[in-house]
């Protein structure tokens, strides 16, 4: 630390006064003869002594975290009422930035399973092979369901959901993003599905789906919905070989991107025309609203069964598709552990 400007100025004034007493310079000052110095005068002169432990030429390295500077080092009297602390920041001790809170990771292992309380506008008597005893129920939705209260839907027994994302190569469901995010916030395991259009290339449709559906931790596998297009803009009905070839191109691209084997959703007429005995190493989601899938799709294993298109739930005002997982609650948790991102 350097001597203060106030102390340096006082010393210079004192020396100049002493030097002015003679024309011979400081060496000729007669200060050794005590008889020439008035004792009363000397008593009023305070020696200019640096503070203890401080070298005038060079300041020692500071080791304390603060330095107290008082009026004795030259500060005006009004600043001397209390010590002033000057912070010393050491280069070797940088100040760490404030930590940014990180949300706790979501546990996707074992979501709670709620008992289904859905009703049906057009109930079907399935006999002994009814979907109602199944332990894990879920839904599939699109823009036609309007605004959905996902928290309420989950409590009603919506333990999983498939949400329409895209169809063809240039259309997205306008409610997809809203449903996708709200279902996740409600803790509903959900996947996205694509309605396949037989008048577009499979590759372009896969690209469109990938462009619009995020690759997200916790999502169910993507779904390809294959049915005959009942629209005036596309009346093509390719051969079974062409159908399967197009499906394979689409599914290969999705599996390469998402790292999950896609699920195949289909209806009885399309299955009978094109898919009997095919894609045995793919999971199937089967529509069968009048009988158990084993009656409609003989010798076909399945993971999900869509048993109604006229379901009712307290979460929204319109009808909704109802589904079940083909297994127990324990089996559901095992399936999730193997097939989610």
Q: Where along the chain do its domains lie?
A: 5-87, 119-339
Query: Closest by alpha carbon to 283, among 268, 305, 298?
Result: 305
Q: What would the mean pLDDT of 227-251 be, rounded to a whole number?
A: 94
DSSP 8-class letter at 114: P
With bands split at pLDDT 50, 70 and 90, how would you rate the model's confidence at 266?
A: very high
- What pLDDT is attached to residue 232? 78
Active site residue 55: no
pLDDT above 90 as % of the chain: 64
- What pLDDT is attached to residue 110? 87
Asked if 158 and 313 count as a contact pair (C-beta separation under 8 A), the reply is yes
Exposure string (b/e) for 94-112, b if CB count within 10 Å is 16 or more?
eeeeeeeeeeeeeeeeebe
| 119-339 classified as CATH 3.20.20.80 | yes
Counting Cα atoms < 13 Å in the Cβ hemisphere of 260 gives 25
Phi/psi of residue 7, nearest 5 degrees: -65, -40
Catalytic-labelled residue, pool 120, 227, 273, 329:
227
How many residues are given for the chain? Answer: 341
SS3 180: helix
Alpha carbon distances (Å) from 336 to 85, 117, 329: 61, 23, 11
Which has the minimum average pLDDT: 4-18, 118-132, 263-277, 285-299?
4-18
Asked if 168 and 139 count as a contact pair (C-beta separation under 8 A), the reply is no
- What pLDDT is attached to residue 49? 44
With bands split at pLDDT 50, 70 and 90, how would you rate the model's confidence at 101?
A: very low
With bands split at pLDDT 50, 70 and 90, how would you rate the model's confidence at 108?
A: low
Catalytic-labelled residue, pool 140, 167, 173, 225:
140
Q: What would the mean pLDDT of 127-154 be, rounded to a whole number?
A: 97
Q: What would the mean pLDDT of 6-16 be, rounded to a whole number?
A: 43
- What pLDDT is attached to residue 280? 97
Active site residue 321: no
> Helices 202-212 & 240-258, crossing angle to 10 degrees?
30
Maximum CA extent, the chain: 133
């Amino acid at each position: 630390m350097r001597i203060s400007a106030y102390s340096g100025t006082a010393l210079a004034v004192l020396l100049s006064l002493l030097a002015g007493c003679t024309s011979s310079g400081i060496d000729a000052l007669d200060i050794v003869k005590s008889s020439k110095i008035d004792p009363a005068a000397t008593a009023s002169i305070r020696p200019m002594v640096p503070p203890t432990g401080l070298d005038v030429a060079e300041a020692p390295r500071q080791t304390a975290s603060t330095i107290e500077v008082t009026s004795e080092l030259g500060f005006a009297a009004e600043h001397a009422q209390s010590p002033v602390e000057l912070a010393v920041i050491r280069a070797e001790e940088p100040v760490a930035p404030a930590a940014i809170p990180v949300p706790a990771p979501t546990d996707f292992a074992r979501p709670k399973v709620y008992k289904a309380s859905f009703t049906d506008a057009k109930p079907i008597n399935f006999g002994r092979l009814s979907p109602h005893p199944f332990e894990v129920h879920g839904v599939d939705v699109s823009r036609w369901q309007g605004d959905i209260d996902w928290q309420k839907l989950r409590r009603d027994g919506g333990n999983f959901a498939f949400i329409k994302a895209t169809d063809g190569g240039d259309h997205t469901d306008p409610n997809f993003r809203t449903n996708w995010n709200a279902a996740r916030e409600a803790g509903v395991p959900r996947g996205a599905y694509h309605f396949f259009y037989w008048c577009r290339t499979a590759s372009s449709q896969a690209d469109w789906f990938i462009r619009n559906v995020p690759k997200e931790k916790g999502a169910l596998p993507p779904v390809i919905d294959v049915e005959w297009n009942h629209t005036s803009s596309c009346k093509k009905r390719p051969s079974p070989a062409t159908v399967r070839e197009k499906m394979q191109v689409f599914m290969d691209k999705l599996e390469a991107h998402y790292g999950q084997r896609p699920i195949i959703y289909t209806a009885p007429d399309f299955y009978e025309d094109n898919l009997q005995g095919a894609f045995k190493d793919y999971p199937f989601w089967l529509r069968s609203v009048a009988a158990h899938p084993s009656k409609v799709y003989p010798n076909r294993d399945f993971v999900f069964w869509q048993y109604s298109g006229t379901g009712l739930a307290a979460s929204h005002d319109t009808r909704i598709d109802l589904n079940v997982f083909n297994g127990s609650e324990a089996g559901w948790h095992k399936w999730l552990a193997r097939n989610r991102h």
